[in-house]
């Protein structure tokens, strides 16, 4: 799994991720062995990171780039983008949408965090979309990251520094997360 965080504070947003890839319960790929260990990718003015199967990384990048129209600027736009993306994930990339029989909708089987000049957002497997006001984390190290960011948020630290603390906490205590981390920051657009 992983530790991926987003933070919004002042006029800055940050997204950060650890660099370990884990296969099952007993195999890990550390950054020194992986030429492409950065879990964050750029799409237009957005930065995205995925938690779930390692295969989701290239699949989501290619599927989003192939979309003729996409909107990652607000909750509704992100929902529409991922709703239109779901059938393509099944048809063109052979995603298996089955998870729990009781699920009300087919699953996209991934969690995605998005940071851009419009804010920080999360997309969950049933295409639930959240517009976060302060910070959030996904992956197996998320509880540790959330606790560290909660403890630091009201301090003088920047969004970037809080994001770094979150990933460091995840890497320290979660067996499926390791340093080094990657971290990116953006400036929020002025609200009109």
**Is 57 part of any domain?**
yes
What range does the domain containing 100 cover?
Answer: 3-187
What Rg do the C-alpha atoms of the chain give, in angstroms? 16
CATH number of the structural domain spanning residue 143: 3.60.20.10
**Is 111 part of any domain?**
yes
- Give the total number of structural domains in the chain: 1
- What pLDDT does 188 receive? 96
Q: Name the band, by pLDDT with cuts 50, 70 and 90, for residue 192.
A: low
pLDDT digits (tens, 9 = 90+) for 131-180: 999 999 999 999 999 999 999 999 999 999 999 999 999 999 999 999 99
Q: How far apart are CA 114 and CA 105, in angstroms?
A: 22
Are 124 and 105 in contact, with CB atoms under 8 Å apart? Answer: no
Q: Would you mind telling me the total number of residues written for the chain in this entry?
A: 192
pLDDT digits (tens, 9 = 90+) for 112-142: 999 999 999 999 988 899 999 999 999 999 9
**Is 192 part of any domain?**
no
């Amino acid at each position: 799994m992983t530790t991926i965080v987003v933070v919004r504070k002042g006029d800055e947003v940050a997204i950060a991720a650890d660099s370990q890839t884990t296969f099952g319960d007993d195999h890990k790929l550390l950054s020194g062995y992986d030429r492409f260990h950065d879990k964050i990718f750029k799409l237009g003015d957005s930065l995205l990171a995925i938690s779930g199967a390692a295969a989701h990384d290239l699949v989501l990048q290619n599927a989003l780039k192939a979309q003729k129209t996409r909107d990652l600027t607000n909750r509704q736009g992100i929902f529409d983008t991922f709703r239109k993306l779901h059938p393509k994930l099944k048809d063109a990339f052979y995603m298996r949408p089955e998870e729990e029989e009781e699920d009300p909708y087919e699953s996209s089987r991934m969690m995605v965090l998005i940071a851009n000049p419009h804010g920080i957002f999360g997309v969950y497997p049933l295409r639930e979309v959240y517009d976060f006001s302060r910070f959030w984390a996904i992956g197996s190290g998320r509880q540790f990251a959330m606790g560290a960011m909660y403890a630091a948020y009201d301090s003088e630290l920047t969004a970037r520094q809080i994001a770094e603390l979150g990933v460091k906490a995840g890497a320290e205590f979660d067996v499926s997360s390791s340093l080094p981390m990657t971290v990116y920051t953006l400036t929020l657009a002025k609200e009109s």
